[in-house]
Chains A and B, each alone.
Chain A
Amino acid sequence: GAVVSQHPSRVICKSGTSVKIECRSLDFQATTMFWYRQFPKKSLMLMATSNEGSKATYEQGVEKDKFLINHASLTLSTLTVTSAHPEDSSFYICSARASRQGNTGELFFGEGSRLTVL
Protein backbone atom coordinates (compact mmCIF):
# COMPACT_ATOMS: atom_id res chain seq x y z
CA GLY A 1 0.00 0.00 0.00
CA ALA A 2 0.86 3.66 -0.16
CA VAL A 3 3.55 4.82 2.20
CA VAL A 4 4.40 8.20 3.58
CA SER A 5 7.86 8.59 5.00
CA GLN A 6 9.10 11.23 7.39
CA HIS A 7 12.68 12.14 8.16
CA PRO A 8 14.14 12.47 10.67
CA SER A 9 12.09 10.37 13.06
CA ARG A 10 13.77 12.02 16.02
CA VAL A 11 15.74 15.22 16.27
CA ILE A 12 17.22 17.12 19.17
CA CYS A 13 18.36 20.67 18.66
CA LYS A 14 19.48 23.66 20.62
CA SER A 15 17.21 26.59 21.26
CA GLY A 16 17.46 29.18 18.51
CA THR A 17 18.39 26.79 15.72
CA SER A 18 16.18 25.73 12.82
CA VAL A 19 15.09 22.21 12.05
CA LYS A 20 13.78 20.79 8.78
CA ILE A 21 11.45 17.81 8.65
CA GLU A 22 10.76 16.04 5.38
CA CYS A 23 7.59 14.26 4.33
CA ARG A 24 7.71 12.06 1.26
CA SER A 25 5.06 10.04 -0.51
CA LEU A 26 6.98 6.98 -1.65
CA ASP A 27 4.73 5.39 -4.24
CA PHE A 28 2.19 8.02 -5.18
CA GLN A 29 1.99 11.67 -6.06
CA ALA A 30 0.38 14.03 -3.60
CA THR A 31 -0.79 17.47 -4.65
CA THR A 32 -1.72 18.17 -1.06
CA MET A 33 -0.05 17.17 2.15
CA PHE A 34 -1.04 18.04 5.68
CA TRP A 35 1.10 18.84 8.70
CA TYR A 36 -0.10 18.06 12.20
CA ARG A 37 1.31 18.64 15.63
CA GLN A 38 0.68 16.35 18.56
CA PHE A 39 1.52 16.97 22.21
CA PRO A 40 1.94 14.04 24.62
CA LYS A 41 -1.34 12.27 25.31
CA LYS A 42 -3.17 14.77 23.14
CA SER A 43 -4.84 14.69 19.78
CA LEU A 44 -3.49 15.75 16.42
CA MET A 45 -3.86 19.40 15.62
CA LEU A 46 -3.79 20.47 11.99
CA MET A 47 -1.14 23.12 11.47
CA ALA A 48 -1.25 23.70 7.76
CA THR A 49 -2.14 22.36 4.38
CA SER A 50 0.79 22.09 2.01
CA ASN A 51 -0.03 22.65 -1.65
CA GLU A 52 2.38 21.66 -4.39
CA GLY A 53 3.60 24.68 -6.28
CA SER A 54 1.81 27.25 -4.15
CA LYS A 55 1.79 28.70 -0.68
CA ALA A 56 0.70 26.63 2.27
CA THR A 57 -2.56 27.36 4.01
CA TYR A 58 -2.08 27.79 7.74
CA GLU A 59 -4.62 27.17 10.45
CA GLN A 60 -5.60 29.95 12.79
CA GLY A 61 -3.00 30.54 15.44
CA VAL A 62 -0.15 28.88 13.58
CA GLU A 63 2.69 31.26 12.76
CA LYS A 64 3.64 30.91 9.12
CA ASP A 65 7.01 32.57 9.67
CA LYS A 66 7.74 30.16 12.48
CA PHE A 67 6.71 27.02 10.65
CA LEU A 68 7.88 27.29 7.06
CA ILE A 69 6.33 24.83 4.65
CA ASN A 70 7.60 24.08 1.19
CA HIS A 71 5.98 21.66 -1.23
CA ALA A 72 8.44 21.69 -4.07
CA SER A 73 7.39 18.49 -5.77
CA LEU A 74 4.49 16.08 -5.91
CA THR A 75 6.27 13.72 -3.55
CA LEU A 76 7.95 16.00 -1.04
CA SER A 77 6.83 18.55 1.51
CA THR A 78 9.11 20.04 4.13
CA LEU A 79 8.35 21.71 7.45
CA THR A 80 11.04 23.96 8.88
CA VAL A 81 10.74 25.03 12.49
CA THR A 82 12.67 28.28 12.61
CA SER A 83 14.41 29.62 15.70
CA ALA A 84 13.15 26.69 17.69
CA HIS A 85 12.32 27.03 21.37
CA PRO A 86 11.56 24.40 24.00
CA GLU A 87 7.82 24.99 23.59
CA ASP A 88 8.15 23.84 19.98
CA SER A 89 9.08 20.39 21.23
CA SER A 90 6.39 18.10 19.92
CA PHE A 91 5.53 15.21 17.63
CA TYR A 92 5.06 16.46 14.06
CA ILE A 93 3.10 14.26 11.68
CA CYS A 94 2.39 14.65 8.00
CA SER A 95 -0.26 13.01 5.87
CA ALA A 96 -0.95 12.77 2.17
CA ARG A 97 -3.54 11.50 -0.20
CA ALA A 98 -2.87 10.31 -3.74
CA SER A 99 -3.64 13.12 -6.18
CA ARG A 100 -5.64 10.84 -8.44
CA GLN A 101 -8.14 10.27 -5.62
CA GLY A 102 -9.06 13.94 -5.21
CA ASN A 103 -10.72 14.57 -1.87
CA THR A 104 -11.69 10.93 -1.42
CA GLY A 105 -9.58 7.94 -0.67
CA GLU A 106 -7.41 7.06 2.24
CA LEU A 107 -5.17 9.58 3.92
CA PHE A 108 -1.79 8.07 4.63
CA PHE A 109 0.16 9.27 7.61
CA GLY A 110 3.86 9.36 8.18
CA GLU A 111 5.40 7.81 11.26
CA GLY A 112 5.97 11.22 12.77
CA SER A 113 9.02 13.23 13.76
CA ARG A 114 9.71 13.89 17.40
CA LEU A 115 11.38 17.24 17.94
CA THR A 116 13.07 18.04 21.23
CA VAL A 117 14.41 21.54 21.69
CA LEU A 118 16.89 21.96 24.52
Chain B
Amino acid sequence: GESVGLHLPTLSVQEGDNSIINCAYSNSASDYFIWYKQESGKGPQFIIDIRSNMDKRQGQRVTVLLNKTVKHLSLQIAATQPGDSAVYFCAGSTGGGNKLTFGTGTQLKVEL
Protein backbone atom coordinates (compact mmCIF):
# COMPACT_ATOMS: atom_id res chain seq x y z
CA GLY B 1 0.00 0.00 0.00
CA GLU B 2 0.91 3.65 -0.02
CA SER B 3 2.74 5.27 2.82
CA VAL B 4 3.40 8.94 2.75
CA GLY B 5 5.32 10.70 5.45
CA LEU B 6 6.90 14.01 6.23
CA HIS B 7 10.37 14.52 7.58
CA LEU B 8 9.70 17.21 10.18
CA PRO B 9 6.62 17.89 12.27
CA THR B 10 7.41 21.60 12.68
CA LEU B 11 9.26 24.12 10.54
CA SER B 12 9.96 27.66 11.70
CA VAL B 13 11.07 30.29 9.22
CA GLN B 14 11.56 34.03 9.23
CA GLU B 15 9.16 36.15 7.26
CA GLY B 16 10.57 36.73 3.81
CA ASP B 17 12.71 33.61 3.80
CA ASN B 18 12.06 30.64 1.59
CA SER B 19 10.49 27.53 3.11
CA ILE B 20 11.11 23.96 2.06
CA ILE B 21 8.82 21.20 3.26
CA ASN B 22 9.77 17.65 2.45
CA CYS B 23 7.81 14.47 1.94
CA ALA B 24 8.75 10.86 1.29
CA TYR B 25 6.57 8.14 -0.16
CA SER B 26 6.96 4.39 -0.31
CA ASN B 27 4.93 3.18 -3.27
CA SER B 28 6.92 3.43 -6.48
CA ALA B 29 3.64 3.08 -8.39
CA SER B 30 2.42 6.43 -7.07
CA ASP B 31 1.84 8.69 -10.01
CA TYR B 32 0.08 11.74 -8.65
CA PHE B 33 0.92 14.00 -5.74
CA ILE B 34 -0.72 17.01 -4.19
CA TRP B 35 0.27 19.51 -1.57
CA TYR B 36 -2.43 20.88 0.69
CA LYS B 37 -2.49 23.65 3.25
CA GLN B 38 -4.72 23.37 6.27
CA GLU B 39 -5.40 26.20 8.65
CA SER B 40 -6.67 25.50 12.12
CA GLY B 41 -10.27 24.28 12.15
CA LYS B 42 -10.61 24.32 8.39
CA GLY B 43 -10.55 21.82 5.58
CA PRO B 44 -7.47 21.28 3.38
CA GLN B 45 -6.82 23.80 0.65
CA PHE B 46 -5.22 22.74 -2.62
CA ILE B 47 -1.84 24.33 -3.27
CA ILE B 48 -0.25 22.53 -6.18
CA ASP B 49 -0.08 19.10 -7.75
CA ILE B 50 2.37 17.17 -9.86
CA ARG B 51 2.21 14.02 -11.93
CA SER B 52 4.97 11.45 -12.06
CA ASN B 53 5.89 12.36 -15.64
CA MET B 54 7.18 15.67 -14.32
CA ASP B 55 9.93 16.53 -11.87
CA LYS B 56 9.07 20.14 -11.25
CA ARG B 57 6.05 22.34 -11.32
CA GLN B 58 5.70 25.97 -10.37
CA GLY B 59 2.79 27.99 -9.14
CA GLN B 60 2.47 31.38 -7.60
CA ARG B 61 5.28 31.55 -5.01
CA VAL B 62 5.28 27.76 -4.75
CA THR B 63 7.30 25.08 -6.46
CA VAL B 64 6.94 21.33 -6.12
CA LEU B 65 9.88 19.08 -6.89
CA LEU B 66 9.51 15.36 -7.44
CA ASN B 67 12.40 12.92 -7.29
CA LYS B 68 11.09 9.52 -8.28
CA THR B 69 14.47 7.87 -7.85
CA VAL B 70 14.45 8.40 -4.10
CA LYS B 71 10.66 8.71 -3.80
CA HIS B 72 10.78 12.20 -2.43
CA LEU B 73 8.94 15.41 -3.09
CA SER B 74 9.23 18.87 -1.67
CA LEU B 75 7.24 22.05 -1.51
CA GLN B 76 9.12 25.29 -1.75
CA ILE B 77 7.45 28.51 -0.71
CA ALA B 78 9.18 31.68 -1.77
CA ALA B 79 9.21 34.79 0.41
CA THR B 80 7.21 33.15 3.17
CA GLN B 81 4.52 35.34 4.66
CA PRO B 82 2.65 35.16 7.99
CA GLY B 83 -0.41 34.01 6.09
CA ASP B 84 1.50 30.91 5.05
CA SER B 85 1.46 29.65 8.63
CA ALA B 86 -0.49 26.41 8.58
CA VAL B 87 -0.09 22.66 8.47
CA TYR B 88 1.05 21.37 5.10
CA PHE B 89 0.20 17.89 3.90
CA CYS B 90 1.49 15.98 0.96
CA ALA B 91 -0.78 13.35 -0.50
CA GLY B 92 -0.11 10.69 -3.07
CA SER B 93 -2.07 8.23 -5.13
CA THR B 94 -1.85 5.66 -7.86
CA GLY B 95 -4.12 5.62 -10.85
CA GLY B 96 -4.29 9.36 -11.32
CA GLY B 97 -5.57 10.74 -8.07
CA ASN B 98 -8.87 9.28 -7.08
CA LYS B 99 -7.78 7.78 -3.76
CA LEU B 100 -5.29 9.88 -1.87
CA THR B 101 -3.06 8.84 1.01
CA PHE B 102 -2.09 11.77 3.18
CA GLY B 103 1.18 12.29 4.97
CA THR B 104 1.33 13.26 8.63
CA GLY B 105 1.71 16.99 8.08
CA THR B 106 4.27 19.69 8.81
CA GLN B 107 3.39 22.71 10.89
CA LEU B 108 4.90 25.79 9.25
CA LYS B 109 5.42 28.70 11.60
CA VAL B 110 6.39 32.05 10.19
CA GLU B 111 8.23 34.30 12.59
CA LEU B 112 8.09 38.05 12.20
Contact = CB atoms under 8 A, between A and B. Distances in A.
- Nearest 7 A/B pairs, CB to CB: A103-B96, A109-B43, A43-B102, A44-B102, A112-B43, A111-B43, A103-B98
28 contacts: A4-B43, A6-B43, A32-B98, A42-B104, A42-B105, A43-B102, A43-B103, A44-B44, A44-B89, A46-B101, A46-B102, A49-B98, A93-B43, A102-B96, A103-B95, A103-B97, A103-B98, A104-B96, A104-B97, A107-B34, A107-B100, A109-B36, A109-B44, A111-B42, A111-B43, A112-B41, A112-B42, A112-B43
Interface residues of B, number: 22
Contacts of A41: 105
A112 B107 CA distance: 19
Contacts, number: 55
B92 to A, nearest CB: 12
A43 B96 contact: no
Interface string A13-52: 0000000000000000000101010000111111001000
Interface residues of A, number: 26
Interface string A85-118: 0000000010101000011101111111010000
A43 B98 contact: no
Interface of B: 34, 36, 41-46, 49, 89, 91, 95-105
A43 B103 CA distance: 6
A62 B98 CA distance: 19
A46 B41 contact: no
B97 A43 contact: no
A38 to B, nearest CB: 9
A98 to B, nearest CB: 13
Given A43-B89, A43-B102, A107-B97, 17 more contacts: A44-B44, A44-B89, A44-B102, A49-B98, A49-B99, A93-B43, A93-B44, A102-B96, A103-B96, A106-B46, A108-B46, A109-B43, A109-B45, A109-B46, A112-B41, A112-B42, A112-B43
